[in-house]
């Protein structure tokens, strides 16, 4: 891109000030700035600015109803498992991981997926995801293509982690990396923020950036060519997730659903999770911060929480639904943050208070567009223990403890008692569940 082209692009969205330090920049800095401007879509900038000017519209959630949430047992469970196994055997299932986040709460230097979470092996988070996919491929003699969304900031390091680990045993031809978009930060007045005289402050466009990125990268077409219909979506920070589990996959297929969600009972009424609610015939995810105290505490006649279930972001999507929604604009969410900026004197300032906005899209905003949505309850102790914070709740310590408790339960179900404090780790390819352990007839215990 030339200077003239950059000027033209910025003019189209009223952001000419981005070039105000041009004269003082070195050749290298100029090149880098032009490259950044080339990635900016003027229409998106205009949309962000409009969202900023309009402010956040208060949405009325008071009429929201709790959705019907299914619990699979007995014959229904058997039917779902059979349908899911058939979907897997026919190669119609893909795994879709969002791993483009910045992981700022954890504060780890590198992609979160490279975080060494293995209780005994220090294996990275990516290891557990990849090995579970491989285990299902081996079990069902199938291929489960693995689509991984990264961001510009962590794409190279993510690919390096897979390469250095021989893709954890997966076939590299079936692993597809693609990057999400980045959006510039803005001041309260809608001006793009420079965090250095020759550099625009940009941040990932949220996990909802997934749809545009799937489309842009050709991943949606790749899924179609491979005959994929069910897309299992999960987040990088939860090594307990049962990727492409037959019961949930089959439940989704039997419900003929566009968007299926696993939900777990909240551990306290004010837990910080999204709550799906029904409005008329459509569903919408309501953030915990948008609920009133009355809604959080409301009880059923049986004394249970009325809005009992929250979403840990474990979904199955219909591929065609994703392809349809990838062509639509998604709502924007604004986050007021501390963003470094260049002051009048051309000096970089690190503010102590929030001073600018980041813009994000959230994947669950497509829920109201689903022609059919389905909700399945599950037990979080078996499938959900995210690594969000460096310490305390949802930290590496709590996650490692939960991983080991799950493995101990697996061992117990296979008839092996394992004392509470004994460290344990099981490679998912060795055994995905207690039945695998029993059929192997031998056990690997490490301490
Ligand atoms: P979180 O909301 O937990 O954000 O992401 P985060 O970036 O990982 O961590 P913090 O908030 O900075 O501490 C939930 C999932 O969505 C992905 C993350 O990688 C994680 O798997 N995500 C988030 C993206 O892929 N892109 C984004 O822009 C944001």
| Residue-wise pLDDT tens digits, 173-208 | 999 999 999 999 999 999 999 999 999 999 999 999
The residue nearest atom 2 of ligand 1, judged by CA position, is 101
Residue from 96, 101, 312 whose mutation best tests the ligand 1 pocket (most atoms within 8 A of CB):
101
Q: Is the pLDDT of residue 65 over 50?
A: yes
What is the arithmetic mean of pLDDT over 339-358?
94
CA distance 330 to 210: 11
Dist. CA 207 → ligand 1 center (Å):
7
Quote the pLDDT of residue 58.
65
With cut-offs at 50, 70 and 90, classify the pLDDT of residue 442. Answer: low
Residue 443 reports pLDDT greater than 60: no
Burial class (CB in 10 A: 0-12, 13-18, 19+), 279: middle
State the closest ligand 1 atom to the C-alpha of 102, by its place in the atom list counted from 1.
7
Supply angle C-alpha 9, 12, 14, rounded to 5.
Answer: 110
Both tokens assigned to 279: 């409005």
Q: How many residues would you count in the chain?
A: 447
- Which atom of ligand 1 has the smallest separation from the CA of 386? 3
Q: Comparing 73-82, 269-278, 435-444, which segment has the lowest mean pLDDT?
A: 435-444
Q: Is pLDDT above 50 for 252? A: yes
How would DSSP label each residue in 179-206?
E--EEE-EETTSPBPEEETTEE-EEE--
Q: How far is CA 342 from CA 18, 19, 38, 200, in A?
A: 11, 12, 21, 10
Q: What is the best residue among 204, 207, 217, 388 to mutate for testing ligand 1's pocket, by most ligand atoms within 8 Å of CB?
A: 207
Calculate how far, in angstroms, residue 380's C-alpha sits from the geometric centre of ligand 1: 20
| pLDDT, average across residues 308-326 | 97
Whole-number pLDDT of residue 447: 43
**Residues with beta carbon inside 6 Å of ligand 1?**
98-105, 112, 149, 180, 204, 206-207, 209, 235-237, 388
The answer to whether 67 touches 307, Cβ cutoff 8 Å, is: no
CA of 79 to the centre of ligand 1 (A): 34
- Distance of alpha carbon 431 from alpha carbon 440, whole angstroms: 8
pLDDT for position 93: 98
pLDDT computed for residue 245 by the predictor: 97
Question: Is the pLDDT reported for residue 223 higher than 50?
Answer: yes
Residue 56: predicted pLDDT: 66
Residue nearest to atom 10 of ligand 1 (CA): 103
105 CA → ligand 1 middle, Å:
10
Calculate how far, in angstroms, residue 235's C-alpha sits from the geometric centre of ligand 1.
Answer: 8
**CA-to-CA distance for 366 and 283, rounded, in angstroms?**
10
* Per-residue pLDDT at 114: 98
Averaged pLDDT for residues 265-294: 93
- Tell me the mean pLDDT in the region 62-79: 96
What are the b/e assignments for 28-67, b being 16+ CB within 10 Å?
ebbebbbebbeebeeebbebbbebbeeeeeeeebeebebb
159 CA distance to ligand 1 middle (Å): 18
* Average confidence score pLDDT of the chain: 94
Please report the atom of ligand 1 found closest to the CA of residue 236.
21
Ligand 1 midpoint to CA 179 (Å): 13
The confidence score (pLDDT) of residue 362 equals: 95
Confidence class for position 60, pLDDT limits 50, 70, 90: confident
Distance of CA 130 from the midpoint of ligand 1 (Å): 19
Stretch 118-142: mean pLDDT, rounded? Answer: 98
The helix/strand count (H/E) of the chain reads as: 14, 19
Mean pLDDT of the region 226-241: 98
> Quick check: 420 pLDDT over 90?
no
96-116 burial, b for 16+ CB within 10 Å, e for fewer?
bbbbbbebeebebeebbbbbe
| The pLDDT of residue 313 | 97
- How much is the pTM? 0.94
Radius of gyration of the chain (CA): 23
Top-ranked range on mean pLDDT: pick from 215-219, 269-273, 333-337: 215-219
Given a contact cutoff of 8 angstroms between Cβ atoms, the answer to whether 183 and 42 are in contact is no
| Interval between CA 96 and ligand 1 midpoint (Å) | 14
Question: Nearest C-alpha to atom 17 of ligand 1 is from which residue?
Answer: 101
Looking at residues 365-391, what average pLDDT do you find? 96
Distance CA 378, CA 386 (A): 15
Predicted pLDDT of residue 418: 82
pLDDT-wise least confident of 109-123, 138-152, 425-439: 425-439
Rounded Cα–Cα distance for residues 294 and 280 (Å): 21
Local structure of 16: helix, strand or coil: helix
Given the CA of residue 235, which atom of ligand 1 is nearest to it?
21
pLDDT of the residue at 446: 45
């Amino acid at each position: 891109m030339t200077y003239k082209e950059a000027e033209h692009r910025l003019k189209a969205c009223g952001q000419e000030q981005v070039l105000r330090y041009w004269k003082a920049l070195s050749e290298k800095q100029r090149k880098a700035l032009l490259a950044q401007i080339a990635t900016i879509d003027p229409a998106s900038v205009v949309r962000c600015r409009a969202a900023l000017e309009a402010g956040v519209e208060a949405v009325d959630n008071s009429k929201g109803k709790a959705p019907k949430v299914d619990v699979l047992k007995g014959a229904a469970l058997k039917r779902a498992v059979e349908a899911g196994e058939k979907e897997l055997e026919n190669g119609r299932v893909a795994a879709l991981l969002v791993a483009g986040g910045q992981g700022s709460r954890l504060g780890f230097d590198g992609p979160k997926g490279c975080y060494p979470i293995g209780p005994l092996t220090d294996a990275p988070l990516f290891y557990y995801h990849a090995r579970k996919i491989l285990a299902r491929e081996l079990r069902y003699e199938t291929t489960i293509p693995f689509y991984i969304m990264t961001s510009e900031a962590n794409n190279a390091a993510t690919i390096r982690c897979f390469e250095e680990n021989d893709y954890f045993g997966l076939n590299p031809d079936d692993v597809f990396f693609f990057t999400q978009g980045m959006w510039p930060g803005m001041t309260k007045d809608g001006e793009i923020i420079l965090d250095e005289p020759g550099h625009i402050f940009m941040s990932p466009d949220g996990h909802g950036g997934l749809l545009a990125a799937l489309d842009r990268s050709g991943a949606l077409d790749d899924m179609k060519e491979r005959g994929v219909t069910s897309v299992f979506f999960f987040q990088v920070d939860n090594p307990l997730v049962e990727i492409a589990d037959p019961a949930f996959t089959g439940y989704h297929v039997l419900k003929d659903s566009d968007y299926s969600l696993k939900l777990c009972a909240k551990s306290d009424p004010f837990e910080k999770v999204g709550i799906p609610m029904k409005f008329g015939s459509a569903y919408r995810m309501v953030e915990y911060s948008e609920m009133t105290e009355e809604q959080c505490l409301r009880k059923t006649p049986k004394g249970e929480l009325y809005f009992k279930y929250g979403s840990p972001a474990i979904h199955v999507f219909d591929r065609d639904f994703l392809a349809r929604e990838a062509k639509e604009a998604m709502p924007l969410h604004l986050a007021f943050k501390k963003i470094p900026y260049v002051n009048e004197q051309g000096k970089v300032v690190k503010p102590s208070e929030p001073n600018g906005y980041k813009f994000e899209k959230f994947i669950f905003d497509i829920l109201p567009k689903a022609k059919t949505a389905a909700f399945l309850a599950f037990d979080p102790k078996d499938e959900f223990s995210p690594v969000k914070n460096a310490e305390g709740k949802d930290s590496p310590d709590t996650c490692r403890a939960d991983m080991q408790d799950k493995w101990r339960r697996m061992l117990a179900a296979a008839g092996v008692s394992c004392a509470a404090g004994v460290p344990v780790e099981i490679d998912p390819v060795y055994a995905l569940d207690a039945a695998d352990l029993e059929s192997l007839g031998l056990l690997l215990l490490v301490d």
